[in-house]
Amino acid sequence: MPVFLETTAPDFEAQFSALLAAKREEAVDVDDTVAAIIADVRARGDAAVIELTTRFDRLDLTPATLAFTRDEIEAHCATVPEEERIALECAAERIRAYHARQRPEDARWTDAAGAELGWRWGPVAAAGLYVPGGLASYPSSVLMNAIPAQVARVERLVICAPTPEGQVNPLVLLAAKIAGVHTVYRIGGAQAVAAMAYGTETIAPVDKITGPGNAYVAAAKRRVFGRVGIDMIAGPSEILVIADAENDPDWIALDLLSQAEHDESAQSILITTDADFGRAVAAAVDTRLATLQRRAIAGASWRDFGAVIVVQDMVEAARLSDRIAPEHLELCVADPEALFAQIKHAGAVFLGHWTPEAIGDYVGGPNHVLPTARSARFSSGLSVLDFMKRTTVARMTPEALARIGPAAETLAVSESLEAHGLSVRARLDRLNTF
């Protein structure tokens, strides 16, 4: 059973703090193993990647078969049913249109001192997109990672998607094709991250690595950060639904289960002003769990990490929501805009009764790669900006340097950086000879 909390209870603060502090992932100590894998790939390149793929994925490869050929991709794509192809194309079109609006603009201006200032945006040269294999092989994640990179105009995009025992998800390859990614390596795990970060004889290194993965992939991304950029270290999925009593309990139950079915460590929380409605939703969850295909996973998530919190009003609901800083936040209330105005921390927000979070996973348009584990307090979901860099630019005229140079010289002297100050003073002295 999920926990039931009421803000009026004397021990609420202690119980709510315990809910926030609950550890939802096993602390698997994989760092030493991952360090050894990365060192092996750096030392032996293709040979290490091939041996590790044989060991972990039970798949024998050669340098020539590390990547799918164009013919193989076309053959697998041809097996996708028409309805699924159309759905993927619909999702891609909407994701592309949304992310196109995120492209930033260059800027130049001249300030009051006469200095010309500004910035210029440009894409990273190459990006590697990690796509998990097995049960967690989601073509929607291919679109969510690849399309923002494409909109940013990244010149070279590659995908690493493991195919354990040679099992291929044709939808993943079709999503890659639709997103404009033509190089898909059939490798995964820490060895794939290492190959993308450092390169091998066959795999050219990239500048940024994005995409979710298991504990080994997460540890590898942590270790290669600095050599390359990464998007984030994603934890288990989570959803917070704030709902008043004017909702269908079954709808809200399904919204909660939409995240619970991802992972036994996922978390689904309901905040409501009506205790009876909260109990009705919990009952509806139990009813749906009896027939849900992934009921074992969803049931464990709801039992171990689910919660129903009864608040006195929506002001209190907003305050608790910001403390949770959820990955996904549904506002199923009479005036979602008014409540949204009070919310500061959330990865993605879904307004109103007719906007289930599942729409955001597929065809809404905004990215579904989002901050988890309360990191929405300080970070954002994946966007075009994750694949771009900002370069600042400045140009001093003699007049501008004469105005602001003395202040720079003073600060350099105060920091005991003599050459800094002299580089400015030399120019100021030249000006004084005119």
pLDDT of residue 22: 84
In sign, the C-alpha dihedral spanning 333, 334, 335, 336 is: positive
Domain CATH code at residue 192? 3.40.50.1980
Has residue 389 been placed in a domain? no
pLDDT-derived band at 434 (thresholds 50, 70, 90) equals low
Per DSSP, the three-state class of 331 is: strand
CA distances from 348 to 244, 252, 326, 330, 384 (A): 20, 17, 8, 9, 16
CB atoms within 10 A of CB 415: 10
pLDDT of residue 23: 75
Q: Are 91 and 188 within one domain?
A: yes
> How far apart are the C-alpha atoms of 206 and 381, rounded to whole Å?
21
Q: Are 176 and 254 within one domain?
A: no
Q: Are 249 and 350 within one domain?
A: yes
Query: Does residue 134 register a pLDDT over 80?
Result: no
Has residue 256 been placed in a domain? yes
With 0.85 as the threshold, say if the pTM is over it: yes
Query: Does residue 10 register a pLDDT over 80?
Result: yes
> How far apart are the C-alpha atoms of 87 and 175, rounded to whole Å?
10
Look over the chain and give the mean of its residue pLDDT values, rounded to a whole number. Answer: 96
Has residue 114 been placed in a domain? no
Q: Are 304 and 414 within one domain?
A: no
- 75-133: per-residue pLDDT in tens? 999 999 999 999 999 999 999 999 999 999 999 999 999 999 999 999 999 999 999 88
pLDDT of residue 391: 98
Mean pLDDT of all residues in 39-68: 97
Q: Which of 213, 230, 247 is the last residue of a domain?
A: 230
Q: Are 89 and 189 within one domain?
A: yes
Q: Which two tokens stand for residue 63?
A: 């340098």
pLDDT-derived band at 214 (thresholds 50, 70, 90) equals confident
Mean pLDDT of all residues in 234-239: 91
pLDDT of residue 28: 65
pLDDT of residue 68: 97
Q: Provide the b/e sequence for 384-406 (b: ≥16 CB within 10 Å).
A: bbbbbeeeeeeebeeebbbeebe
Among 257, 239, 341, which Cα is nearest to 299's? 257
Number of domains the chain is built from = 3
Higher pLDDT, 270 or 22: 270
- 294-313: per-residue pLDDT in tens? 999 999 999 999 999 999 99
Has residue 89 been placed in a domain? yes
| % of the chain residues with pLDDT over 70 | 98
Q: Are 18 and 71 within one domain?
A: no
Query: Does residue 427 register a pLDDT over 60?
Result: yes
Q: Which of 186, 207, 230 is the last residue of a domain?
A: 230
Has residue 391 been placed in a domain? no
Domain that holds residue 315: 3-25+235-364
Q: Are 287 and 207 within one domain?
A: no
Q: Are 133 and 68 within one domain?
A: yes
Q: Are 415 and 303 within one domain?
A: no
Query: Does residue 191 register a pLDDT over 90?
Result: yes
Q: Are 180 and 239 within one domain?
A: no
For the ranges 33-37, 79-83, 261-265, the lowest mean pLDDT is seen at: 261-265
Q: Are 221 and 247 within one domain?
A: no
- Residue 308: phi, psi to the nearest 5? -120, 120
Strand partners, 351: 331
Mean pLDDT of all residues in 56-62: 96
Has residue 178 been placed in a domain? yes
Query: Does residue 136 register a pLDDT over 70?
Result: no
Has residue 342 been placed in a domain? yes
Per DSSP, the three-state class of 416 is: coil
pLDDT-derived band at 231 (thresholds 50, 70, 90) equals very high
Q: Are 324 and 242 within one domain?
A: yes
| Contact of 334 with 340, CB cutoff 8 Å | no
Q: Which two tokens stand for residue 86?
A: 């159309």
Has residue 321 been placed in a domain? yes
Q: Which of 177, 210, 230 is the last residue of a domain?
A: 230
- Residue 312: phi, psi to the nearest 5? -85, -30
Mean pLDDT of all residues in 243-270: 96
pLDDT of residue 24: 73
Positions marked active-site: 327-328
